[in-house]
A and B are shown apart, each in its own frame.
Chain A
């Protein structure tokens, strides 16, 4: 049996390894090593836990069996999941962390002796508060992530669900959580504990349903953050340093990602949380219904334009992921490069359904990461480029964000695609994007619309090059 002090030091080491795991992600070269540190930290934490309990009887075997079942399922998912489905996968994983936190809190509440927290009905006050917070945040993470998962998977409609009195109801429930926590701590009643959990599950559900599909990058990051705070809450209950450090890391990581995503959309955090984005924009969408002329072309025209260009910038968006066009796109780019045309990729912070989603898809299609640029790095290059190839992106290229203060997306940082000599815009139809507004870029003099499925169009262009 490991002494408490020694195990505390090992938990600290695994916490530090987790910090190094995140640190490694500062560049792709060090990232694989970072992931290895993370795995090492986890192995240390689990081994130390077994050694500090020192119980290697039948219970140990049962624990190993459950560990193995989970591990096999996890490994199977990790190898099977297509890269386009990463947002759903991450949302699903968040819900599991949340539920695990809830289960650990329940176990600790029912059997506090095992955790040195006192006896049932007489749990130490501090531990009970920590436990309640961990359980409540875990429950919110769980039900919120389930909704996010269903919306991303398309099982549930991506459009925001709003109803009258939604905000007062949510506020009421949040207040009731605080009151319940207070009552639970003063009475130690297990009924109140179950009610607290039920109410927390409910609020997680209610908080996410009014948020629209386009705001999913914020929601996923936010739930990432919640899962961290839940882990930290449980870490305080268990007095475990590894868990406290990790919870804090994950919590602040998710918070920063949410901030970056909000900034990418020029919206405040509260604006996103309160939801109902799509609902308010309908009116502006209908106002501009008059038909404006667009120029449309075919793969042949597009190939001609690109062949005569000396530099091309590609702007991918979520539509590329939906059409699974990333491999076809890479082949087109290979052909362009053979003709000595300079090609780079421009990625908007909120392109896709989660932070960094486009980068992963391009990496999957063997696009070298040093050809892929972020908005600030590449925005000035559009003016010098010959062709911009917009594939599956829409709102993030809309010049209205710079010109029309009336527009709901006014002030959002956008890619200056219209500054290119010519713009090729692959899209199925003229329908507006997720923000529900018309894209001025469609009607510009130098824009050529290519109405087709992104993958098919890209393949056709390659043939014509």
Chain B
């Protein structure tokens, strides 16, 4: 009997939920806002699906209904990726420790 590959993906999914659970509990509460903006950025890895859809058309028909949705999704996800990582970077750069000499 062969195992359906779906089961493997499901295993990865469930194990990742557990990893997420433990990793997120260890995030310090003062960084919860950057946590939200960075999770925003990484969930936009959905862009890989958008790229596949966008490149699906052959060379004479780059623009069909399916690939247009792909292109739009690429832009949406890209806003999130750049916006999410950069705004996180901007926030994290502000967190400073007390200066010793004060």
Q: What is A's interface to B at a CB cutoff of 8 Å?
A: 11, 14-15, 18-19, 21-23, 25-28, 31-32, 34-35, 38-39, 41-42, 45-46, 49-50, 53, 55, 57-60, 62-63, 66-75, 77-79, 81, 83, 86, 89-90, 93-94, 96-97, 99-101, 103-104, 106-108, 110-111, 113-115, 126, 220-221, 224, 227-228, 231-232, 234-254, 256-257, 260, 337, 347, 349, 354-357, 359-360, 363-364, 366, 368-372, 374
| Bound CA–CA A68/B84 (angstroms) | 15
Given contacts A96-B76, A372-B30, 15 further A-B contacts (CB under 8 A): A22-B35, A25-B28, A38-B42, A38-B85, A45-B45, A59-B54, A66-B71, A73-B83, A77-B79, A86-B33, A235-B9, A243-B48, A244-B13, A368-B96, A368-B98
Identify which of B35, B38, B78 contacts A69 (C-beta below 8 A): B78
Residues of A contacting B35 with CB < 8 Å?
A: 22, 25, 253, 257, 355-356
Task: With both chains docked as a complex, state the minimum distance between the C-beta of A97 and any C-beta of chain B, in angstroms.
Answer: 5
Residues of A contacting B25 with CB < 8 Å?
A: 256
| 15 A–B contacts from the bound complex (CB under 8 Å) | A26-B27, A46-B47, A63-B51, A63-B74, A66-B75, A73-B83, A86-B91, A93-B79, A97-B43, A97-B46, A249-B42, A355-B33, A356-B31, A360-B34, A368-B97
Establish whether residues B67 and A49, one from each chain, have CB atoms under 8 Å apart when the complex forms.
Answer: no
Establish whether residues B73 and A253, one from each chain, have CB atoms under 8 Å apart when the complex forms.
Answer: no
Residues of B contacting A359 with CB < 8 Å?
A: 29-33
Identify which of B28, B46, B76 contacts A231 (C-beta below 8 A): B46
Q: Which of B50-95 contact A (CB under 8 A)?
A: 50-57, 59, 62, 64-67, 69-95
Establish whether residues B67 and A107, one from each chain, have CB atoms under 8 Å apart when the complex forms.
Answer: yes
Task: With both chains docked as a complex, state the minimum distance between the C-beta of B28 and any C-beta of chain A, in angstroms.
Answer: 6
Establish whether residues A114 and B53, one from each chain, have CB atoms under 8 Å apart when the complex forms.
Answer: yes
| Bound CA–CA A442/B97 (angstroms) | 34
Closest Cβ neighbor of A376 among chain B residues: B29
Establish whether residues A364 and B76, one from each chain, have CB atoms under 8 Å apart when the complex forms.
Answer: no
Chain B at the A interface: SS class: helix
Task: With both chains docked as a complex, state the minimum distance between the C-beta of B27 and any C-beta of chain A, in angstroms.
Answer: 5
Establish whether residues B32 and A356, one from each chain, have CB atoms under 8 Å apart when the complex forms.
Answer: yes
Identify which of B13, B39, B51 contacts A22 (C-beta below 8 A): B39
Establish whether residues A106 and B33, one from each chain, have CB atoms under 8 Å apart when the complex forms.
Answer: no
Establish whether residues A221 and B86, one from each chain, have CB atoms under 8 Å apart when the complex forms.
Answer: no
Establish whether residues A74 and B83, one from each chain, have CB atoms under 8 Å apart when the complex forms.
Answer: yes
Closest Cβ neighbor of A18 among chain B residues: B42
Closest Cβ neighbor of B60 among chain A residues: A58
Identify which of A35, A77, A231 contacts B43 (C-beta below 8 A): A231
Establish whether residues B40 and A32, one from each chain, have CB atoms under 8 Å apart when the complex forms.
Answer: no
Task: With both chains docked as a complex, state the minimum distance between the C-beta of A303 and any C-beta of chain B, in angstroms.
Answer: 22
Given A62-B71, A363-B91, is A70 in contact with B9 using a C-beta cutoff of 8 Å?
Answer: no
10 closest A-B pairs (Cβ-Cβ)?
A70-B78, A356-B32, A114-B56, A74-B83, A74-B82, A248-B16, A107-B53, A111-B66, A252-B20, A355-B32
Establish whether residues A360 and B73, one from each chain, have CB atoms under 8 Å apart when the complex forms.
Answer: no
Identify which of B19, B43, B49, B87 contacts A104 (C-beta below 8 A): B49
Task: With both chains docked as a complex, state the minimum distance between the C-beta of A421 and any C-beta of chain B, in angstroms.
Answer: 25
Task: With both chains docked as a complex, state the minimum distance between the C-beta of A262 and any C-beta of chain B, in angstroms.
Answer: 14
Task: With both chains docked as a complex, state the minimum distance between the C-beta of A119 and any C-beta of chain B, in angstroms.
Answer: 13
Establish whether residues B74 and A74, one from each chain, have CB atoms under 8 Å apart when the complex forms.
Answer: no
Establish whether residues B80 and A63, one from each chain, have CB atoms under 8 Å apart when the complex forms.
Answer: no
Task: With both chains docked as a complex, state the minimum distance between the C-beta of A255 and any C-beta of chain B, in angstroms.
Answer: 8
Establish whether residues B45 and A14, one from each chain, have CB atoms under 8 Å apart when the complex forms.
Answer: yes
Identify which of A35, A68, A114 contacts B66 (C-beta below 8 A): A114
| Bound CA–CA A35/B93 (angstroms) | 11
Establish whether residues B85 and A42, one from each chain, have CB atoms under 8 Å apart when the complex forms.
Answer: yes
| Bound CA–CA A247/B45 (angstroms) | 9
Given A107-B66, A231-B45, is A369 in contact with B20 using a C-beta cutoff of 8 Å?
Answer: no
| Bound CA–CA A205/B92 (angstroms) | 33
Establish whether residues A99 and B76, one from each chain, have CB atoms under 8 Å apart when the complex forms.
Answer: yes
| Bound CA–CA A401/B47 (angstroms) | 46
